[in-house]
Amino acid sequence: MPVATQAHREFESGLYERLQLSERFLTYQNAFRTATGLPLRLVSADPEHWCLDDQNVNRSPFCEILNLCKRACDACVETNRKLMKDAECQGPSTCHCFAGLSATAVPVKMGTSVVAYLKTGQVFHQMPNESRFKEVVSAIGRKTLDDSLLNQLHTAYFQTQTVDPQRYNSMVKLLHSFAEQLGEHAESLAIIDEGSEPSAIAKARQYILANLDQPLPLGEVAKHAGLSASHFCRIFKDSTGLTLTDYINRSRIEWAKRELLKPEARISEIAFLVGYQSLSQFNRSFARIVGASPTEYRRERLYKTAS
């Protein structure tokens, strides 16, 4: 794997962990669970670090029992992997497992990159019945279930929540809106202090943020940090997960996004205000980081504000 790709994966993995522990996500997670009665998880975008087994509150009793059966568990994992692949390409996606439960994944994006998924579901859209339960047992394999496990499965099956499709779709729309907010929060987390960085890096970041509208050559920033250029590069990357150039660009783009909400401000003026030497350079950096041009971003944000 190329070094740049590995570094990018490590950066996104660290960002996901910070999102998962952020007050914003935890507050919304609790509010969503309380208001809807549905589970809500933030799942890593990296399939190598994804699994179903995290918090009991996020799994239905029926799914818990199914996980005791390897055949059913494997089918569930495969269904969820496909679901998140669909969500990556198509946006919020819902699927149905072999047992008839619905599950939904909503991508959380930072620019064009998916950094995580919001997942909910494990509900029926139609009231379960005995005929359907027998089909589920048949699909699992009746011989793999002893009487005790079968009775537990039966009880949990009929205790599984049923949610009207229209109401469920409204819940998914709420998640989509929150995913957009969480994506914006991820962009902020990518450039803010985690509280555990070396003092030299804190000094450097303070200098950068105070001088974003000016050229910020490596030697000058390293000097303010009190380090040699080579030593500074290594420590800065270890502390922030970003190269100096990427950190400066992301900080400038965050500033530009705020300025773009002012309808009277010209994009060319914003580009020079936040420290870019040319409009084309600004447009390229903005599109790479945000996933849309400055004009498209402004149009979308102002439309949402007016709606």
Of 261, 118, 111, the C-alpha closest to 186 is 111
pLDDT above 90 (res 98): no
Write the pLDDT tens digit of every residue in 10-61.
666 777 888 888 888 988 998 998 888 888 999 888 765 555 545 555 567 7
Query: Please, are residues 252 and 285 in contact by the beta-carbon 8 Å criterion?
Result: yes
Write the pLDDT tens digit of every residue in 142-191.
777 788 888 988 998 998 889 999 999 999 999 999 999 898 888 777 76
Same domain? 177 vs 227: no
Same domain? 144 vs 25: yes
- ∠ CA 106-111-117, nearest 5°, is 20
* Cα separation, 270 vs 186, whole angstroms: 23
In which domain, by residue range, is 127 found? 3-189
| Residue that is last in its domain, among 165, 189, 213 | 189
Write the pLDDT tens digit of every residue in 114-123.
889 999 988 9
| Residue that is last in its domain, among 162, 189, 216 | 189
| Residue that is last in its domain, among 161, 189, 217 | 189
CB proximity list for 219: less than 8 A, separation 6 or greater:
229
Q: Read out DSSP for 57-123?
A: GGS-HHHHHHTTSHHHHHHHHHHHHHHHHHHHHHSSEEEE-TTS-EEEEEEEEETTEEEEEEEEEEE
Same domain? 116 vs 212: no
Same domain? 152 vs 121: yes
The model's pTM is 0.67
CATH (domain of 234):
1.10.10.60
Query: Please, are residues 38 and 171 in contact by the beta-carbon 8 Å criterion?
Result: yes
* Cα separation, 125 vs 163, whole angstroms: 5
194 within domain boundaries: no
**Residue 168 backbone phi and psi in degrees, to 5:** -65, -40
Average pLDDT, the chain: 84
Write the pLDDT tens digit of every residue in 231-256.
999 888 888 878 999 999 999 998 99
What confidence category does residue 2 fall into, taking pLDDT thresholds of 50, 70 and 90?
A: very low
Of 67, 91, 68, 95, the C-alpha closest to 80 is 95
Tally of domains in the chain: 2
